[in-house]
Amino acid sequence: MKSRFKKAIAIISFIAAWDVSAKARDLSPDQQLAKAFALPLKAPEPETNKYSKTKVDLGAKLFFDPRLSLDGTVSCNSCHNVMASGSDNRPVSAGIKGQLGGRSAPTVFNAAFLSVQFWDGRASSLEEQAKGPLTNPMEMGMPDHGAVVSRVNSIEEYKALFAKAFPGPNPVSIDNIAKAIASYERTLITPNSPFDRWARGDAKAMSESAKRGFKKMNEVGCTSCHSGVAFAGPSLPEGVGFFQKFPTFENNLYVSKYDLKSDLGRAKVTGNASDEHMFRVPTLRNVATTAPYFHNGKVPTLSDAIRVMAKTQLNRELNDSEVNDIFSFLESLTGSVPTQQLPKLSVTSGTTLTPN
C-alpha cells in the first residue's frame, strides 16, 4: 500500500512539473521578458523586524491613529489612504493646522519593495521612513520622538499591546513604534494585477493594447529606469537608492508648464551639486490610481504624465496611439489591494491627549 501511495504521489508531482514546464514553453517572448517584473506574493523583510501578526495589528492601529500628531488631526493614513490608492490624490499633502507640504505623497502600496523611501531617498528603510513625518513640523508636528513615545505610553491599551509585540524592557520606544508601522506597511502589497497574471502565463489577462504598451515601454527605453518588480529600478540592497535626473531634457514646454525644475531633489539631502534634480525612481504599480503625478503633483492626468516622461526623459514625441497603448499597460499594473478593516483605536478614559 505504501509503495502504491508513493508511486501515485510521484505521478502527480511529475504531471504538475510537466504542466508548469508546458506553460513556460507556451509563454510568448514578451511574457518571458515580463516574468522578471512579476510581483512576489510576499514583501521582503529585514532580519531585525521579522513578521508577526501581533506587530502588524499594532502597526495598523498606529497607522490610523491621529493622536500620533501634535493636535490629533493627522495620521499616517491621512496622506497614505489605504482605503483608496495608498496616497491622498492631492498635488501636495496637508499636515497639522492645514499646512501644505512641498511634495506629493507617494503611494504606500508596494513601498516595501523599494530600497529607499521618500522622493529624495533620505530614509533607508520603512522603519526609518515611519519616524520622519512624526516630528516634521509641516506634517504630524510632534516636538521630538520622546513626545511621541510619551503620548503612546500614556494609553494603557497601547502599553499592553507593545508588551505583547515586543517582549522585554521598555517595549514602547520610537524604534518599536516604527517597527510596528513598518510591519503593517509590508502587508500593503498588490499582487495579482492583470500584468502579473499575464507574466505568469495567462495569455488573456491583459488586453492587446496593454501588451503593445508593454512592448512599446521596452522599445522606447522606459524600462531602463522603471525596471524590477516594482517598476522602480533594479533590486538593490536596503539603503542603496536608484536615482535619476528629472527632467533630463529641458528644452521643451513641459518643464516650464509644470514647474519641473524648482525642486532640487536629492541635493537638498546631500548638499552636492551633482545631486540637483535627482529623484528616486517612483514605482509604476497602481500608477493609474495615484494622480496627480510627479514630485510636485502638478501633472493632472496619466496621459499627460506619459507625454511628459517621453519628452523630458527620452526626448521622444509619442503619438496618440502609442500613448493609449502605454496607458492601457499602466492600467494593467493596478493590483489587488489587500482588504482593509478599520482598526478600533485604543481609547483614554476621562481625559484628552490633545488639548488646544
User: Within the chain, which residue ranges are assigned CATH 1.10.760.10?
Assistant: 47-185, 194-331
Peptide bond into 133 cis (omega under 30): no
Q: Is 139 a catalytic residue?
A: yes
Whether residue 286 contacts residue 334, with contact meaning beta carbons closer than 8 Å, is answered with: yes
CATH topology of domain 194-331: Cytochrome Bc1 Complex; Chain D, domain 2 (1.10.760)
Whether residue 102 contacts residue 92, with contact meaning beta carbons closer than 8 Å, is answered with: yes
Task: Name the grid cell of 28.
Answer: 510568448
Determine the pLDDT at residue 4. Answer: 55
Determine the pLDDT at residue 18. Answer: 41
Give the containing element (helix H, strand E) for 210: helix 208-220
Over the chain (356 residues), the average pLDDT of each successive run of 10 is 51 46 68 93 96 98 98 97 97 96 97 98 98 98 98 95 96 98 98 96 96 97 97 96 97 97 97 98 98 98 98 98 98 94 89 84
139, 185, 322, 331: the catalytic one is 139
Determine the pLDDT at residue 21. Answer: 45
Give the containing element (helix H, strand E) for 243: strand 243-245
Whether residue 67 contacts residue 354, with contact meaning beta carbons closer than 8 Å, is answered with: yes
Nearest-CA neighbor of 250 among 262, 265, 242, 241? 262
Choices 1.10.760.10, 2.40.50.70, 3.30.930.10, 3.55.50.30: CATH for 47-185: 1.10.760.10
Question: Using CA atoms, how far apart are residues 117 and 155, in angstroms rounded to an integer?
Answer: 30
Whether residue 133 contacts residue 171, with contact meaning beta carbons closer than 8 Å, is answered with: no
